[in-house]
Structure 1
Amino acid sequence: MIEVGATLPEATLSHIDGSDMKNPSTKDLFAGKKVALFAVPGAFTPTCSEAHLPGFVALADKIKAKGVDEIICLSVNDAFVMNAWGKASNAEHITMVADGNASFTKALGLSMDTDTFGGVRSRRYSMLVDDGVVKVLNAEEGGGFEVSDAETLLKAL
C-alpha cells in the first residue's frame, strides 16, 4: 500500500468536464496543487451514497478553506457513471473521477476483490496529496467506514 511521503503512481484517469470527456494523467491532475482525494468501492452504493460522498459535499467549503485546491472523488467505475452520481448527489464542488480499469487503484495497493458484487474495486480511503505527494492517508480495512470520512480528513488538515 502507498505510504505517506510517497509520490502517486502514474496512471490515466477519466472524468466528464461539462460535456467533454477528459483523460488526465495523475501527474496533470495533482501537479502544483493540494488535493483532498477520497475513494469509494462504487458509485450509487449504500454507504458511498448515504455517508461517504455526502460528507465531502457537506464539508467541501471547510476543506477548501484549509488550503485545499480541489476535492476529488474516485471510484472504479466509468466516467459517465461518476458524472451521473455527482449530479444526483449535488457534488458540484467535487471532481468525480473514474479509474475504469482499476490501474491507479491497483498501483496504490488499495484494491480489493469484491467477487460477484463487482469484481476489483477500490478500498475506501481518503488522502491529502500535495503536488503529487501523499501527506495524509486514511485507508479502511475491507469495506469499513471509520477513518476515511470527510470529518477525519478535515481534522488532519
Structure 2
Amino acid sequence: MSVLEVGDSFPGNVSFGYIPFTPETKDITSCGIPIKFDASTEFKDKKVIVVAVPGAFTPTCQANHLPGFIENVDALKAKGVEKVVVIASNDPFVMSAWGKANYTKDDFIIFASDSELAFSKAIGWTMGDRTARYAIAVDHGKVIYAAKETERGVDVSGADAVLAKL
C-alpha cells in the first residue's frame, strides 16, 4: 500500500481497535472491552472521515484538531458523513477515555487505535513512532479527499478543510 490519493479505493484489510460507547461505560474511568473496527468493510457502503492525530490529549490535537469535528457534527451529517473515525497510535483504552473526556455520547465519532501504526505506516503517513496528522474522506469505498499536514497546525486535516472538500 502507498499514499492514498483521490480516486483510489480504500484498501482492504484495514482495521482499528476501539471500545464502543455504551451507557454502562460512559464514565471516563470505566473500561470497556476493545473490539476490532473493520474499516475496509465499514467504508464500502458509507461516507466516512478518518482523522489521524499524533496523540490523544496532546495540545494541538485536543485544542485545535478534535474540537472542529465535534463542533461540526451537524454540518458533517448534512454533507452525508455517517461516521468520523479519529485514530492515533494510543491504545484503545486511552482513545476511549479521550472520547469520553470530550463528551462524545454515540458512535458517530469513534476514537480508535492504529495499533503499531499498521495503517499509517502502510500509507507512509507517520511522524516517528506516532501517526502523522492527516484526514482522509472516503465515499462508498473511494477516497474523495486525502491530505497530510506538512507544517504545524490543522490547515488541511481540520474540519473546515475536510468540509470544504465534501
Return the TM-score normalized by structure 2. Answer: 0.84
Unpaired runs of at least 5, structure 1:
114-119
Residues 85-120 of structure 1: CA deviation (Å, up to 9, x unaligned): 01001233411111121001111211121xxxxxx1
1:32 paired with 2:45, answer yes
- Three-state SS of the structure 2 residue aligned to 1:102 is helix
Opposite residue 62 of structure 1, the aligned amino acid is A
- Three-state SS of the structure 2 residue aligned to 1:101 is helix
Range that drifts further, 132-141 or 45-54:
132-141
Aligned residues: CA RMSD = 1.5
- Equivalent-residue separation in structure 1 for 2:4 and 2:71 (angstroms): 28
Shift of 1:75: 0.8
1:101 paired with 2:104, answer no
- Equivalent-residue separation in structure 2 for 1:12 and 1:42 (angstroms): 18
Residues 11-39 of structure 1: CA deviation (Å, up to 9, x unaligned): 23111013342112222231210001111
1:149 paired with 2:158, answer yes
Opposite residue 49 of structure 1, the aligned amino acid is Q
Question: What percentage of residue pairs aligned between the two structures are identical?
Answer: 40
Range that drifts further, 21-30 or 46-55:
21-30
Opposite residue 10 of structure 2, the aligned amino acid is L
Opposite residue 42 of structure 1, the aligned amino acid is G
1:111 paired with 2:123, answer no
- Three-state SS of the structure 1 residue aligned to 2:61 is helix
Contact 1:33 1:130 in 2 (8 A): yes
Shift of 1:143: 4.2
Aligned length: 151
- Equivalent-residue separation in structure 2 for 1:131 and 1:57 (angstroms): 23
Return the TM-score normalized by structure 1. Answer: 0.88
Opposite residue 145 of structure 1, the aligned amino acid is V
Identify the residue that residue 143 of structure 2 maps to in structure 1.
134
